[in-house]
Structure 1
Amino acid sequence: MASKALIFLALLFLSAASPKTAIAETNEEDKPGLAMDFYKDTCPQAEDIIKEQVKLLYKRHKNTAFSWLRNIFHDCAVESCDASLLLDSTRRSLSEKETDRSFGLRNFRYLDTIKEAVERECPGVVSCADILVLSARDGIVSLGGPHIPLKTGRRDGRKSRAEVLEQYLPDHNESISVVLDRFAAMGINTQGVVALLGAHSVGRTHCVKLVHRLYPEVDPVLNPDHVEHMLHKCPDAIPDPKAVQYVRNDRGTPMVLDNNYYRNILDNKGLLIVDHQLATDKRTKPHVKKMAKSQDYFFKEFARAITILSENNPLTGDEGEIRKQCNVANKHH
């Protein structure tokens, strides 16, 4: 009799637990995610507004495109693509954009300009995370790069991730193995990493980041012809971080996202340690050589890697929020 009672209780427990388990599994499967043209019903003009604003801002301020390209890396690579990068510091937490690893990031006010334009059309609908990603996509086009179809539907995080930033963002002085491992954790393979670093084809590197290759002695692996130019641009062994002292990443086509970067680093003209290692490490060199020969191959792998990066662990559905202002969580607004 006792054993029958136990069996009955076990069956009763299973019958009560099963529906909950099924519901949990269904909820996980049905969890809303990213989608192409996510705002087609709620704000059909959103992507056009963002694209137009990017074009206008780029026309007035060419360097905005470099900033938007860096933003997608600095935001999406750190745990989640949730616009945590854009939050200002508060009394309780330091913002990501004010850490040493974010040195040189700027032009956030122009993202606010885009957000304001979108808000006028559709208040409280489009996330700052999506604006950050789409402005990077359209900025890439402004620089002569490929148009990359990207999904939307991200929501905004409520807190900065400054305290974990260095666990995710590789530094320019770290080994290529560390760089490959960090990106592999996001699902980006070796050729994807090589392609993403092709973003160094545009923009500039502040002297603070490269003087260790010039002083007290010049790094012997640097191309001597390029050293003269670097020394001219960075004449001080301890440059003022607030001074505008920098070297263009690519002297040939500094405003164009192209495969010239790969030819430069194969010629020992890479500014950063990671550039040099990319061209010499046996895991990455074959892809560097292939991208140096074929811009189509570079663009193909670049587009694939940006897509994976943009979809890194986003907040969706009822997670997070839609910020009213990109630099402040709603509870502080």
Structure 2
Amino acid sequence: MLLPFVFHLANAQGLTSGFYNLSCPSAENLVKTMTEKFVAHAPNFAPSLLRLHFHDCFVRGCDASVLLNSTSNNTAEKDASPNLTLRGFQIIDAIKSALEKQCPGVVSCADILALVARDAVTAIGGPTWPVLTGRRDGNKSLDKDALTGLPRTDMNITQLKEKFASVGLSVKDLAVLSGGHTIGVSHCRSFGARLYNFNGTNDTDPSLHPSYVANLKKQCLPADLTSIVEMDPGSFRTFDTHYYSVVSKREGMFTSDGALLTDSTTSAYVQAQVSPQSSTFLTDFGQSMMNMGKIGVLTGTSGTIRKQCAIIN
């Protein structure tokens, strides 16, 4: 794991605070203002915008490759099966269009994703954190990279730790970033096997609390592919510590949520966040998002600045 980790750190050195202060002074304020307006109109887009940044950074680094459209001879990341439920592309496009009018060819789509993720979380009352900027955009996007690069919700703790370590993120980052599931919803198809055919047994995942299973089965009938369920029941619109309380009671929606209880480090973190009074999650989340935002970035003369986020110049 050493070489990828060194690679990620070396590239991240090109990121700075206030990268656009001279070249486009209004950039960060414009992104913040527009993001707040979109989220105020449709709060459910906050988790979607956070997820876009996450899905971008774990595949080829934070280079906005997740935004590129497929072409006649290439299927892009956004059309890979794990990304078919991604939303918010039109918001990124609108913000990019506004920036291009003010500062043509200056602000990267990769930086927009990082800024929007932070501003969307803050807009719904979540934490804020410094976003270093200076990322440039990649010109390559392959569906197969998304299939192999993204952490999956059906992964066990060993697989998750390996996936995070491969991009230079720690076990603590894994526990913290999983807390992003405190907001948003998921389709029944994403976890239905845990209810009806866990590991091909035609039975329920025994690690789930029985009452939670019963509740989920009321919302998700067998073979239900379209219904949606709150990931953090009763608190899915609020960015808070409630997710960890849910996980501690064996009511985490995904295998990856429950996996946090099977490792001493991640389990200890979950238990430490259950009490809002002593929780460090909101502060930790900002730091882990900063760590994630440095993965495999293109800076300096690497990459490009796309004129449109969905299309290579």
* Match in the other structure for 1:233: 219
Distance 1:97 1:31, change over 3 A: closer
| Residue ranges of structure 2 left out of the alignment (5+ in a row) | 1-9, 197-201
* Match in the other structure for 1:201: 182
Paired amino acid for 2:304: E
The 2-side partners of 1:147 and 1:296 are apart by 16
Corresponding position: 1:291 with 2:273: yes
The 2-side partners of 1:161 and 1:291 are apart by 37
The 1-side partners of 2:142 and 2:21 are apart by 31
RMSD: 1.8
Compare 61-70 and 159-168 and name the one that shifted more. 159-168
Structure with the bigger RCO (C-alpha within 8 Å, sep 6+) is: 2
* Match in the other structure for 2:286: 303
Q: How much does 1:77 deviate?
A: 1.2
Give runs of ≥4 in structure 1 deviating > 3 Å: 29-32
SS in 1 for 2:289: helix
Work out which of the residue numbers 245, 248, 251 in structure 1 matches 2:230. 248
Q: How much does 1:163 deviate?
A: 2.4
* Match in the other structure for 2:42: 61
Identity %: 37
Q: How much does 1:166 deviate?
A: 3.0
* Match in the other structure for 1:265: 247
The size of the alignment, in residue pairs, is 298
Q: How much does 1:187 deviate?
A: 2.3
* Match in the other structure for 1:102: 83
Corresponding position: 1:319 with 2:302: yes
Q: How much does 1:164 deviate?
A: 2.1
The 2-side partners of 1:50 and 1:30 are apart by 24
Paired amino acid for 1:51: K
Give the TM-score taking structure 1 as reference length.
Answer: 0.85
Paired amino acid for 1:35: T
| Residue ranges of structure 1 left out of the alignment (5+ in a row) | 1-28
Work out which of the residue numbers 193, 214, 224 in structure 2 matches 1:212. 193
Which protein is bigger by CA-based radius of gyration?
1
Work out which of the residue numbers 105, 117, 129 in structure 1 matches 2:110. 129
Tell me, yes or no, if the aligned pair for 1:31 and 1:317 is still in contact at 8 Å: no
Compare 177-186 and 286-295 and name the one that shifted more. 286-295
Corresponding position: 1:277 with 2:259: yes
Q: How much does 1:162 deviate?
A: 2.3
The 2-side partners of 1:41 and 1:186 are apart by 31
Residues 46-96 of structure 1, C-alpha deviation per residue, up to 9 Å, x if partnerless? 000000000000011112111111011110111221100000001121111
